[in-house]
Amino acid sequence: MIARRVATASVSISSSPNSTPDATSRRALSSESEWITSIGQVEGSYHGYFTSVNVKSIFTFVHSAMDRLYRLAEPQAGYFTTAQAGEVGVSRQELYYLRHRGDITGVAYGIQRLTRFPASPHEDMVVACLWVGQGAVASHESALVVYGIGEAMPGTIHVTVPRVFRGRRAGVTVHRAVIAPDERTTRSGVRVTTPLRTMADVALGDPAGARAALTDALERGLVRRGQLKSAAVRYPHAVVFGVVE
């Protein structure tokens, strides 16, 4: 299937008089990097003179780039940032080509998803965490939504990160706090605080909401009663852990 798509793309030459490729795009390019760079120089269109060498080069490039992107995006529910792609050796020009092939789709500025992965029901949270960057996790009421517990309907996405972050984005509230390794996990492809840490955070502003969430968590097995005593010691401000019968 990939070979067929590459071959088809490689022999398509526009007949538009305003899109005739220049001398650089006419020559047989020896590497996929040169080829991808050249297509970005023709007003964002795939025009040029293609040879069998180009077809082989593109085929190799697609497989190599998609393999790197898959390994990058798989732990993130198929999502990744342009910066992350660059770190694994996939350039902006190459992303441009893959996007027009239909291999990836843009979901927000600087954030893409591999189309082989379905859109996450919590895509807004995945995007928010990727936007904030390294170490960010969905937290507070947003984490309750991921776990499907409690009655919270947050009007903003809560993200916690253990460093200074000065960016601003409509609909996203960023908290600064240390999240220990055993307080973070991944749920439905979303990086999120653990149930106990989540309820401890929620209890600071909404004790009743935290109690309702804890009741649900116990019923669903997300939290065990045997964990409550140690949680009360670890999170002394969260009196919620000592009031559940």
Q: Model confidence over 108-119: pLDDT tens digits?
A: 999 999 999 999
Residue 242 — left, alpha, or beta (φ > 0 → left; ψ -120 to 50 → alpha)?
Answer: alpha
Residue 178 confidence (pLDDT)? 95
**In the predicted model, what is the mean pLDDT of the chain?**
81
Q: Model confidence over 45-69: pLDDT tens digits?
A: 444 434 444 666 777 878 889 999 9
Burial class from Cβ neighbours inside 10 Å (0-12, 13-18, 19+) for residue 45 reads middle
Q: Is the pLDDT of residue 28 over 60?
A: no
Structure tokens at 243: 């009031």
φ/ψ (deg, to 5) at 60 = -65, -45
Specify the pTM: 0.72
Separation of alpha carbons 203 and 154, rounded Å: 15
Structure tokens at 18: 């305003």
- Dihedral sign for Cα 217, 219, 224, 229, please: positive
Whole-angstrom CA distances from 125 to 3, 54, 132, 186, 205 are 35, 40, 11, 12, 21
Residues 167 and 176: beta-carbon distance below 8 Å: no
Domain ranges in the chain are: 2-114, 123-242
